[in-house]
Amino acid sequence: MYASGSLAVLTSTIWIALLWCSYGVDIAAATAASSVDLAPILTNQQWSSNTTISFVGSPEFFSVTERWTTFSAPTYVAAVSPDTEEDLIKVVKLATSHKIPFLATGGRHGYTTTLGNLQNGLAIDLSRLNSLALDTTAQTLTVGPGVTVGEVFDPLYNAGFDIQTGSAPCPSLIGVTLGGGVGQYQGIYGLIADALISVRMVTANGEHIDVSRDSHPDLFWAVRGAGTNFGIVTSATYKVHPLADDGDVFVAEFLVAAEKSSEYFETLESMSPLPAGLSSIMLVNFNTTTNQTQVQVHWAYKGHENEGRAALAPILDLDIEATSIAVVPWNKLIGSAFGGVIDSICRDNITRDLYSWNMKNYSASTYTTSFSKMDDYFAKHPGGRSSVLQFEFFPNQAMAAVPADETAFPWRDTTGYINFNMLFDGGDNATEAASIALGLELRDDLVATSGYPELTVFINYAHGDEKIEQIYGREKLPRLASLKNIWDPNHFFSYNNGLPNQYP
Ligand SMILES: Cc1cc2nc3c(=O)[nH]c(=O)nc-3n(C[C@H](O)[C@H](O)[C@H](O)COP(=O)(O)OP(=O)(O)OC[C@H]3O[C@@H](n4cnc5c(N)ncnc54)[C@H](O)[C@@H]3O)c2cc1C
Ligand SMILES: *[C@@H]1O[C@H](CO)[C@@H](O)[C@H](O)[C@H]1NC(C)=O
Ligand SMILES: *[C@@H]1O[C@H](CO)[C@@H](O)[C@H](O)[C@H]1NC(C)=O
Ligand SMILES: *[C@@H]1O[C@H](CO)[C@@H](O)[C@H](O)[C@H]1NC(C)=O
Ligand SMILES: *[C@@H]1O[C@H](CO)[C@@H](O)[C@H](O)[C@H]1NC(C)=O
Ligand SMILES: *[C@@H]1O[C@H](CO)[C@@H](O)[C@H](O)[C@H]1NC(C)=O
Ligand SMILES: *[C@@H]1O[C@H](CO)[C@@H](O)[C@H](O)[C@H]1NC(C)=O
């Protein structure tokens, strides 16, 4: 066991406030508080030699709690980094029996503002549980919660397989999966959760259970879409796919100047619905060289270049110069997009606040209006020039082919996700206020032509101000709430847009 931290923290009594997110739904006690001296509880234990305990203020603590965004962040007084599943079970039992509020973290890329409802809690850092095993005969991949999305690319590709993933390498694969997991291959393979065969989970009472179609099938339904609500997943097994077309992806990227943007949006709208293998990521951002608002576009076609060129003909025929046309192997797809911009997208410890929503209709006229609003915002608020309005145009054929009742994930008709990614310096209140006002306005505008009658959001992208129906779907909530009541009635796992344990 390795402990680091200030003695003051070790010897003082730590007050812990429990703040249940309430959503207007009547969840347990709205606010409870308990006085727990964490240090002796954690240090008077036998831990495996590589399990570490750290306390706020130490470099070790920072490195195991550092997050992608510092906005509305949870805070902790101590962190446990279990090196074994036994130690994870032990810390869960300690925390639940002492009523210590805690958050188990994988990649620490969760950004919903409800995570900030945990203050002065205990961090359970899962990053050391990072085993990865590929069974090429069974065609399955089993990973621990410390494995990131990007860490599966090379092992799978090198063995002749691929899998649907998210579009960034830095979140944990399990973290992404628990909300459903959307990405560029969802039209061909479905959600990441659709690849799931089974998980192992530690529950609130410290049981370690198998969850699959044959074992706790109700819970298996629930973890695929609402999976952060019931326990801590210690491993997940996925179906992988033998490579087709050598794993090649045809990629075309464009830089669209302001004056060409409307024409570009109209062409894009005319291509809806996209064929299953074709996806696009589009960024409306500020170019600090030209000082202009611009549109950056990435298209990827899973398959042969010839088919890719045919699918992309309407775009290739526009008089817009490509910045890149290439065939890349799938394990390099994300790293090579937009000249490797993902490195800065993945950088940790930055203030970022996001609004997101789903769409099933593409609307050129609304995108043109949104572009003008972004242009105006960049002109008036130089402090917000790193903000980005991002569109993910992802087809849904394979996702929609899975019956709606198969999983808790509610939005199988979605063909795109929009997020307004607000970046501003901490303390720049004027830019912050203008960014939030614009975010809410863009959300209203773009939801109106999204094809949905009201705001809907994919849980992994939620801001935290949405209604639970807008996140989980009204029709899923009765069953989810009754499962919550069975597995986590005391709301230990409720910081990520937590479910109520009764609905309606
Ligand atoms: C740069 C970036 C790119 C993204 N790209 C995509 C994408 O392409 N597709 C997509 O679907 N989503 C994407 N997301 C959203 C992402 O899926 C969610 O933020 C997800 O919650 C991150 O998981 P994490 O483990 O990294 O985060 P954490 O902050 O560690 O965890 C987030 C929540 O999940 C819970 N959790 C994490 N691991 C476990 C576990 N093993 N068992 C139980 N609960 C757990 C935590 O308790 C917490 O409530 C992206 C996010 C970012 C910041
Ligand atoms: C602890 O980690 C070290 C270094 O990675 C390793 O050599 C050792 O075997 C580990 N010990 C246990 C008990 O896992
Ligand atoms: C900014 O615009 C210039 C000129 O069009 C271009 O070369 C450059 O790649 C753009 N930068 C970004 C980050 O898009
Ligand atoms: C862009 O703006 C910066 C200052 O904000 C200025 O220094 C630079 O000259 C401008 N570039 C162009 C091409 O106008
Ligand atoms: C993290 O960001 C904060 C500002 O938000 C800064 O004070 C701190 O030095 C950063 N820490 C590291 C290690 O980068
Ligand atoms: C900015 O907001 C923070 C918190 O919201 C507040 O403490 C601070 O005083 C504000 N600064 C200014 C200059 O208004
Ligand atoms: C979405 O698109 C369909 C087909 O083009 C159209 O019939 C419908 O009216 C659109 N819905 C909205 C809300 O824009």
Name which of 401, 421, 432 is nearest 190 in CA terms: 401
| pLDDT tens string 43-57 | 999 999 999 999 999
- Confidence category of residue 22, pLDDT binned at 50, 70, 90: very low
pLDDT at 5 over 90: no
Nearest-CA residue for ligand 1 atom 32 is: 110
Check: CB of residue 1 under 8 Å from CB of residue 21: no
| pLDDT tens string 438-484 | 999 999 999 999 999 999 999 999 999 999 999 999 999 999 999 99
At 36 the pLDDT is 75
What is the 427 CA–ligand 6 centroid distance (Å)? 6
Taking residues 272-287, report their average pLDDT. Answer: 98
| pLDDT tens string 366-411 | 999 999 999 999 999 999 999 999 999 999 999 999 999 999 999 9
Residue 13 corresponds to which tokens in the numbers above? 């009594």
**pTM, 2 dp:** 0.93
Percent above pLDDT 70 for the chain = 93
At 35 the pLDDT is 55
Taking residues 27-48, report their average pLDDT. Answer: 69
- State the Cα–Cα distance between residues 118 and 147, nearest whole angstrom: 24
pLDDT at 17 over 50: no
In the beta sheet, which residues pair with residue 161?
242
At 172 the pLDDT is 98
pLDDT at 227 over 50: yes
* Sequential DSSP letters for 98-143: TT--EEEESSS----GGGGG-BSEEEEE-TT---EEEETTTTEEEE
- Confidence category of residue 7, pLDDT binned at 50, 70, 90: very low
pLDDT at 118 over 80: yes
Taking residues 304-321, report their average pLDDT. Answer: 97
* DSSP-derived pairing of the beta strands 232-239 and 196-202: antiparallel
pLDDT at 346 over 70: yes
pLDDT at 6 over 90: no
pLDDT at 116 over 50: yes
pLDDT at 10 over 90: no
At 62 the pLDDT is 98
Residue with tokens 């100047």: 257
Report the atom number in ligand 7 closest to the C-alpha of 452. 13
pLDDT at 498 over 50: yes
| pLDDT tens string 424-435 | 988 899 999 999
pLDDT at 156 over 60: yes
Q: Which residues line ligand 1 (CB under 6 A)?
A: 68, 103-111, 126, 145, 166-168, 170-172, 174-176, 178-179, 181-183, 228, 232-233, 345-346, 460, 495-496
pLDDT at 253 over 80: yes
Name which of 295, 299, 294 is nearest 281 in CA terms: 299
Taking residues 62-78, report their average pLDDT. Answer: 97
| pLDDT tens string 282-303 | 999 999 999 999 999 999 999 9
Alpha carbon distance, N-terminus to C-terminus of the chain: 46
What is the 289 CA–ligand 4 centroid distance (Å)? 7
Which of 12-26, 117-131, 252-266, 364-378 shows the lowest per-residue confidence on average (mean pLDDT)?
Answer: 12-26
- Confidence category of residue 37, pLDDT binned at 50, 70, 90: confident
139 lines ligand 7 (CB under 6 A): no
Report the atom number in ligand 5 closest to the C-alpha of 426. 5
Taking residues 86-92, report their average pLDDT. Answer: 98
Taking residues 418-426, report their average pLDDT. Answer: 94
pLDDT at 496 over 70: yes
Nearest-CA residue for ligand 5 atom 8 is: 349
Tell me the pLDDT of the chain averaged across its residues: 93
Report the atom number in ligand 7 closest to the C-alpha of 448. 13
What is the 258 CA–ligand 2 centroid distance (Å)? 56
Count CB neighbours of 344 within 10 A: 10
50 lines ligand 5 (CB under 6 A): no
At 153 the pLDDT is 98
* DSSP-derived pairing of the beta strands 102-105 and 121-125: parallel
Q: What is the DSSP letter of 394?
A: -
At 18 the pLDDT is 31
Provide the residue type at 189 as one letter.
Y
What is the 130 CA–ligand 3 centroid distance (Å)? 38
Nearest-CA residue for ligand 3 atom 5 is: 290
At 442 the pLDDT is 98
